[in-house]
Structure formats: structure tokens, C-alpha cells
């Protein structure tokens, strides 16, 4: 077994005098798909920001690909929450992906040999080649989200962080986006950390689940974590996990709105 | 007034020689202003440009009153305004309210300084509506210097600035120093606004800093085509305005603003007919 692509050891985070979580241990192996679940405000996005080096931990450490986290690590790809680009946005589909290839280069914006081929390959990999030259504002949410995946894959990341990439997509596009990410982790061996409110669209791909609630967490396979007794203990309140018609419903979560995608998602303000 | 007052091409050649300084100023400002405009549009900062230009006007008016360098005054005013807007208004909504508060204050200060000024009255309103005809050698050196600094700055920051302007969340995640970049852009913006205030006047800077880019974005989405078109549109507006104004008695600024507006209209029509063509094909 090779080194894990992500190793979180004894991590804790205090924000504005409140413990979001502490004592968090997690290792993600190459090619592993870990879903992160939990109610709004449980610190899921903040955990991603810590892995990106944008948020300092108050305890513990995080290593990506064997090295301590740092800002601008090209071993980490990041897929943000789907926020539609407005119609007049001055960018074509291929340009959004190209930002992943050349967007961090300071200096004269002269294309390098291989840039165009790389963008074409990424367009192909996420199934966006047919609308490569269309303005992004004219594309559907699902099409835009494929482009964001393509952008995140630009530097061959060892770890792919996905922050609610399915919210505001319809069922068909949720499946399509999930299958692209699933396919990529299998073909490239990237580990996937997938923050989501709804486990159902990704349940078939998930290896393990990290469930964060009330400053505590549980880690395990879906069958180990998504159980009435486990979640009841985690929340300290009676929770019912129901499996019906191939879907999994979690009922009785206090205060939280786990299946409600929060759109107001400014990262300075939102710790969820 | 007859047409022969507005347009007369007698002695045009000699006038052209006299207008050498304004023409060089217009070429630099048209090109660099057009390029900066692409980022102004992408970062949704048209209103901020207007706010910066009013404080730049106040700075220039103060310099006029104190007998200092007007270019330096407008530069100082613009950079102070750009920094205030950049530091306090990271988000679009905050930014618009800060600009809305700063703008009348700057304009008011400028009017105060100008009313206290006892010198030649022709200088007074040229700060608001343009004074391109009166570009001295010293002014020209300053303006070219400012345009060069802004040009080099934009080129060095180009890709990361584009990333941050178009996809800020991903840009931050990829480790781009978004705050530093934003402040750096505001400084460049302040500098180019100050140059534009000096040439076409505080009230009209948008015609060279916003309209060309807005027009270019109507007809293209390409990462190379848009800046190139925008710079060309800016150049055509600025230089065309001067060339037309030389032939007549009207001031330069209305020519510049009208040309840049007409370019924008034509681009809109082109974009509109394209959209219709696409719809026809779909049907």
C-alpha cells in the first residue's frame, strides 16, 4: 500500500470561539472516494479550506501526498459548488478549463507548447468537446459543472476536493457529474473527498463516509455510518435512517437541513 | 454655426503637426485603456471607475488651486480612491455603496477647489470635460509613463487576474493571492483613470475605459480577440476623435465619446443579428 494522498491527524478547528470539530483523523488512499456529510455549519467547507491551505487548523496536521498543506498546491484539484455563470460571461467553455492550465502563471500570457492539447484532452475527458467553443453563459448547469471538473483535473491532482458539486443540478446531471468523477478517480488514481448534502447520487461510488455533526464525527463504510443507532448517537437525538426504493433517507435531524443545498455560500462567512 | 465651422480641412496638415502631443497621448490611452477595460468589465467595476475619476478630479483641482502638477494631483486622487474602494469594497455590493458615497464627495471637493481657483477659467472645466488639446511635453511624458506602467502591470498579472476575475472561487483554491492581486489591479486602475481624466475629462472617462471593452465583449468571447478588439476600439475612438476635432471648432471629447458609442452600437447590432441567425438555424 502506498502512502495515502491525504492524511489528517488529530485535526481540530476553533472558529469564533466555537469548536467545529476536533480530534479528526482521516487517511484517503489513492483512488478512494470519501463522502463528507453533515448538517449546515458543521464545518465541511472549512475542512476543505484547511486542506487547500486557506484555513489554519487550531490543532493537528494535514498532509497531502506526504507533504504539509500549503496554498496553491498543484497536487490538489478543487471543484466548487455549482454557481451558474451569467449569460454574458466573457468566456468560452474551453477558456474555463484553460484557467486550470495557465491561470496561475504570472508573466506575459504567452501560450506554452502543449497547452492547447492539454485543454482539448481535458474537454474530451469530461465529455465537453462538443460545446468547447460555446460561451459558458449559454451552457446548462450540468455542462458548466463538467467544465469545472476539467479545470480541477488540469494538473493531474492526487486529491480531488469536491465542495457540493451536485447542488442545483437535476438528477440526470447529478448522475453524469458523479460518474465523471468516479471514472477519473479510477483512471488517474486520484483520491476523492466529496462534500455533499445528499448521499444518494453518490452512494454507488462511495467507499467511506465521514459524517460530521455537532463537533463530532463518524468514519466508516456507508453501511457502518448510515445507521439509525450510529447517527442517533452522533446527533444525540433520535434519527431514523430509512432505505426505500433504492434511496436512503435520513429523518429527524435536529435543526439541520441536510437535504437543503445552501446557495448562500460565501466562504468568508460560511463555515458549513 | 455652419458646417464649415464644424469641419474645415484647410491647413489640416499644419494642424496635425501641432496636435502631435495630443495624438501620442490618445494612442497610448486608447490602447492601454481598452486593455484595462476588459478587466474592468470582467470584474464588474464600471461604477468604481466613475467613482475613482471623480476623486481624481478633486485631486487635480486641488493641484490646480495650489499651483502644483495637475497630472500628479489627478494621479494622487485616483490612487487614494482606488485603494479605498479596493480595501473596503471586496464584494460587489459593498463596493457599489462605497463608490456611491465617495463619488459626490469627490465631485463636491473638486467643485470647491475650482471655485476657489482664480487662474484661467478655461482650465477649470477642462478637468471635467477634457483638455486633450493642451497636452504639454511634461504632461505627455507623465501620461506615456503612466500608460507604460499600467501596460506592463496588466501583462505581468494577465493570467492570474483573468482567473480571479472570471472564476474567483477556483482561483483562490488554486492559491492565487487574490487579495494582493485585487489591490494591485486597483492601483493600475487608479493610474489609468488619472491619465484618462487628464485627456478626456473626469465625467467622460468611461468612454475610453468601459465602452470599448463592452463593445468587444458583444462580438467576441475569445481570450485574445476581446482584448485586441477592445484596444483597437479604444484607439480608434481616441485618435479618431482628435482627427475629427482638428478640422473644426468643437471640443475633442464629444467626438471621442460619440465614436466609442457608435462602435458599441454597431457591435450590439452585429451580436443581435448573429443571435437571430442562430435562432433561424435552430428552427
Percentage, residues of chain A above pLDDT 90: 65
Residue B22 has pLDDT above 50, yes or no: yes
Q: Which domains are present in chain A?
A: 6-85+157-251 (3.40.50.300)
* pLDDT given at position B121: 60
Is the CB of B181 inside 8 Å of chain A's CB atoms? no
pLDDT band at A269 (very low <50, low <70, confident <90, very high): very low
Query: What residues of chain B, 34 to 73, have a C-beta less than 8 Å from chain A?
Result: 38, 41-42
In a domain, B46, yes or no: yes
* pLDDT given at position A271: 39
Residue A139 has pLDDT above 60, yes or no: yes
pLDDT band at A268 (very low <50, low <70, confident <90, very high): very low
Q: Is B41's CB within 8 Å of A90's CB? A: yes
CATH number at residue B181: 1.10.3470.10
* pLDDT given at position B280: 64
Mutation target to probe the B interface, by most B beta carbons within 10 A, among A69, A77, A91, A136 is A91
In a domain, B153, yes or no: yes
Residue A245, C-alpha cell as written in the block: 426504493
In a domain, B135, yes or no: yes
The distance of A128 to chain B (nearest Cα, Å) reads 17
The distance of B233 to chain A (nearest Cα, Å) reads 17
What CA–CA distance (Å, rounded) separates A57 from A227?
30
Residue A265 has pLDDT above 50, yes or no: no
In a domain, B219, yes or no: no
Please compute the mean of the pLDDT values over residues B96-104 and round it to a whole number.
91
> Nearest to residue B32, comparing CAs of B202, B191, B218, B244?
B191
- pLDDT per position as a tens digit, B51-95: 999 999 999 999 989 988 888 999 999 999 999 998 887 777 788
Query: What residues of chain A, 69 to 108, have a C-beta less than 8 Å from chain B?
Result: 70-74, 76, 78, 80-81, 83, 88-92, 95-96, 98-100, 102-108
Residue A231 has pLDDT above 70, yes or no: yes
First-to-final CA distance of chain B: 53
In a domain, B75, yes or no: yes
* pLDDT given at position A267: 40
Residue B100 has pLDDT above 60, yes or no: yes
* pLDDT given at position A252: 78
Contacts of A77 (CB under 8 A, 6+ apart): A152, A153, A154, A155, A157, A159, A160, A161, A190
Contact (CB, 8 A) for B73 and B63: yes
Residue A40 has pLDDT above 60, yes or no: yes
Q: What is the residue range of B35's domain? A: 12-203
In a domain, B259, yes or no: no
> How many structural domains compose chain B?
1
Please compute the mean of the pLDDT values over residues B107-121 and round it to a whole number.
85
The distance of B226 to chain A (nearest Cα, Å) reads 9
In a domain, B243, yes or no: no
* pLDDT given at position A126: 94
Length of chain A (residues): 272
Residue A262 has pLDDT above 70, yes or no: no
pLDDT band at B281 (very low <50, low <70, confident <90, very high): low
Amino acid at each position: 500500500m502506498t502512502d495515502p494522498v491525504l492524511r489528517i491527524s488529530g485535526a481540530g478547528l476553533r472558529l469564533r470561539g466555537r469548536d467545529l470539530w476536533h480530534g479528526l483523523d482521516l487517511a484517503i488512499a489513492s483512488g478512494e472516494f470519501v463522502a463528507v456529510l453533515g448538517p449546515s455549519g458543521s464545518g465541511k467547507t472549512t475542512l476543505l479550506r484547511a486542506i487547500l491551505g486557506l484555513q489554519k487548523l487550531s490543532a493537528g496536521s494535514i498532509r497531502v501526498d506526504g507533504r504539509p498543506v500549503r496554498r496553491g498546491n498543484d497536487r490538489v484539484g478543487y471543484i466548487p459548488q455549482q454557481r451558474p455563470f451569467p449569460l454574458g460571461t466573457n468566456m468560452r467553455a474551453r477558456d474555463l478549463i484553460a484557467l486550470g492550465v495557465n491561470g496561475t502563471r504570472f508573466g506575459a500570457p504567452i501560450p506554452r507548447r502543449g497547452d492547447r492539447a492539454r485543454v482539448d484532452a481535458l474537454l474530451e475527458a469530461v465529455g465537453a468537446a462538443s460545446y468547447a467553443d460555446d460561451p459558458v453563459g449559454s451552457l446548462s448547469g450540468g455542462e458548466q459543472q463538467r467544465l469545472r471538473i476539467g479545470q480541477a483535473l488540469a494538473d493531474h491532482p492526487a486529491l480531488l476536493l469536491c465542495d457540493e458539486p451536485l447542488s442545483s443540478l437535476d438528477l440526470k446531471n447529478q448522475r453524469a457529474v458523479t460518474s465523471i468523477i468516479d471514472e477519473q478517480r479510477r483512471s488517474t488514481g486520484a483520491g476523492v473527498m466529496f462534500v455533499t448534502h445528499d448521499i444518494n447520487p453518490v452512494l454507488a461510488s462511495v467507499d467511506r463516509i465521514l459524517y460530521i455533526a455537532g463537533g463530532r464525527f463518524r468514519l466508516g463504510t456507508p453501511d457502518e455510518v448510515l445507521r439509525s443507532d450510529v447517527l442517533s448517537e452522533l446527533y444525540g437525538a433520535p434519527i431514523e435512517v430509512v432505505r426505500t426504493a433504492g434511496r436512503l433517507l435520513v429523518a429527524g435531524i435536529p435543526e439541520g437541513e441536510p437535504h437543503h443545498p445552501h446557495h448562500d455560500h460565501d466562504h468568508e462567512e460560511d463555515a458549513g | 454655426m455652419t458646417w464649415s465651422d464644424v469641419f474645415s480641412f484647410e491647413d489640416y496638415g499644419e494642424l496635425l503637426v501641432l496636435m502631435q502631443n495630443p495624438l501620442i497621448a490618445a494612442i497610448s490611452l486608447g490602447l492601454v485603456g481598452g486593455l484595462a477595460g476588459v478587466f474592468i468589465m470582467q470584474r464588474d467595476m464600471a461604477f468604481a471607475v466613475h467613482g475613482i475619476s471623480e476623486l481624481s478630479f478633486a485631486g487635480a483641482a486641488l493641484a490646480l488651486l495650489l499651483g502644483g502638477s495637475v497630472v500628479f494631483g489627478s494621479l494622487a486622487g485616483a490612487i487614494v480612491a482606488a485603494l479605498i474602494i479596493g480595501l473596503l469594497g471586496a464584494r460587489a455590493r459593498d463596493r457599489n455603496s462605497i463608490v456611491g458615497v465617495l463619488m459626490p464627495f469627490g465631485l463636491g471637493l473638486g467643485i470647491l477647489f475650482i471655485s476657489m481657483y482664480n487662474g484661467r477659467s478655461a482650465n477649470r472645466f477642462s478637468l471635467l470635460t477634457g483638455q486633450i488639446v493642451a497636452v504639454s511635453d511634461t504632461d505627455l511624458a507623465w501620461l506615456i509613463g503612466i500608460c507604460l506602467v499600467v501596460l506592463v502591470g496588466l501583462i505581468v498579472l494577465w493570467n492570474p487576474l483573468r482567473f480571479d476575475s472570471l472564476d474567483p472561487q477556483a482561483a483562490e483554491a488554486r492559491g492565487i493571492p487574490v487579495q494582493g492581486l485585487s489591490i494591485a489591479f486597483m492601483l493600475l486602475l487608479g493610474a489609468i483613470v488619472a491619465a484618462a481624466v487628464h485627456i478626456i475629462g473626469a465625467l467622460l472617462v468611461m468612454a475610453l475605459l468601459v465602452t470599448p471593452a463592452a463593445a468587444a465583449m458583444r462580438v467576441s468571447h475569445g481570450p485574445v480577440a476581446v482584448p485586441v478588439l477592445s484596444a483597437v476600439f479604444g484607439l480608434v475612438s481616441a485618435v479618431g476623435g482628435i482627427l475629427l476635432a482638428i478640422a473644426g471648432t468643437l471640443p475633442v471629447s464629444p467626438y471621442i465619446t460619440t465614436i466609442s458609442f457608435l462602435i458599441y452600437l454597431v457591435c450590439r447590432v452585429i451580436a443581435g443579428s448573429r443571435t437571430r441567425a442562430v435562432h433561424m438555424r435552430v428552427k
